[in-house]
Amino acid sequence: MSDLQLTDWRNHALALESEVNKVVVGQHTPIRLITTSIFARGHVLLEGDVGVGKTTLLRAFTRGIGGGYQRIEGTIDLMPNDLVYHTYLGEDGKPHVSAGPLLMSGENLSVFFFNEINRARPQVHSLLLRVMAERSLSAFNAEHYFPHMIVFADRNQVEKEETFEIPSAARDRFMMEIPIVVPNDDAIMEALVFDTKFHNVDALVDTVKPDVLQFDELNGFSGVIQSNITASDTLKKYALNLWKATKSPLDYGVKVSGVDMNRLVLAGASPRGMSMMLRAARVNAWLNNRTAVLPDDIHAVFHSTIAHRLVFSPVYEMRRTEIAREMLSGIINAVAAP
Partner 1 sequence: MTKFNRFLSLILLFCAAPLSALAIDSQDLPDIKEGFVTIKTIDPTQRVGYTVGDVIEREVILTIKAPYTLVETSLPIKGYEKRYRGQVIGIELKNIHHKKDVHKDYTTHHIKLAYQVFTNSVVAKNAALGPEYLNLINMKNNKDLVKYRIPSLDIAISPLAIFGAVKVENNMSPMLGPLLMANTQEKQWLKIALVILAISLLGLLYILGVHTWLPRMGGPFASAYRTLRKTPNSAEGLKQAVSKLHLSFNNTAAMSVFNDNLDTFLAKKPSFSPLKYEIQQFFALSRQVYFEPNATHDIGNNPSKWLVQFARRCRDCERGLTPTPLDTKAGA
Minimum CB distance to partner 1, residue 336 (Å): 5
Minimum CB distance to partner 1, residue 234 (Å): 4
Nearer to partner 1, 156 or 329 (CB): 329
Minimum CB distance to partner 1, residue 292 (Å): 4
**What residues make contact with partner 1 under the rule CB under 8 A?**
230, 232, 234-235, 290-296, 299-300, 332-338
Nearer to partner 1, 149 or 235 (CB): 235
Sign of CA dihedral 254, 258, 260, 266: negative
Minimum CB distance to partner 1, residue 118 (Å): 33
Nearer to partner 1, 261 or 334 (CB): 334
User: Among 336, 241, 223, which residue's Cα sits nearest to residue 283?
Assistant: 223
Instruction: Calculate Rg over the CA atoms of the chain.
Output: 21
Minimum CB distance to partner 1, residue 68 (Å): 37
The rounded distance, in Å, linking the Cα atoms of 142 and 313 is 42
Neighbours of 236 (CB within 10 A): 12
The rounded distance, in Å, linking the Cα atoms of 242 and 30 is 23
Nearer to partner 1, 136 or 230 (CB): 230
Nearer to partner 1, 207 or 333 (CB): 333
Contact 146, 193 (CB under 8 A): no
Minimum CB distance to partner 1, residue 14 (Å): 19
The rounded distance, in Å, linking the Cα atoms of 297 and 291 is 12
Say how far residue 124 (Cα) sits from the centre of its chain: 19
Minimum CB distance to partner 1, residue 328 (Å): 13
Contact 284, 297 (CB under 8 A): yes
Nearer to partner 1, 18 or 230 (CB): 230
The rounded distance, in Å, linking the Cα atoms of 63 and 4 is 25
Nearer to partner 1, 51 or 338 (CB): 338
Nearer to partner 1, 57 or 301 (CB): 301
Nearer to partner 1, 30 or 330 (CB): 330
Neighbours of 287 (CB within 10 A): 20
Minimum CB distance to partner 1, residue 247 (Å): 18
Minimum CB distance to partner 1, residue 296 (Å): 4
Measured at the CA of 136, the angle between CA 213 and CA 96, to 5 degrees, comes to: 100
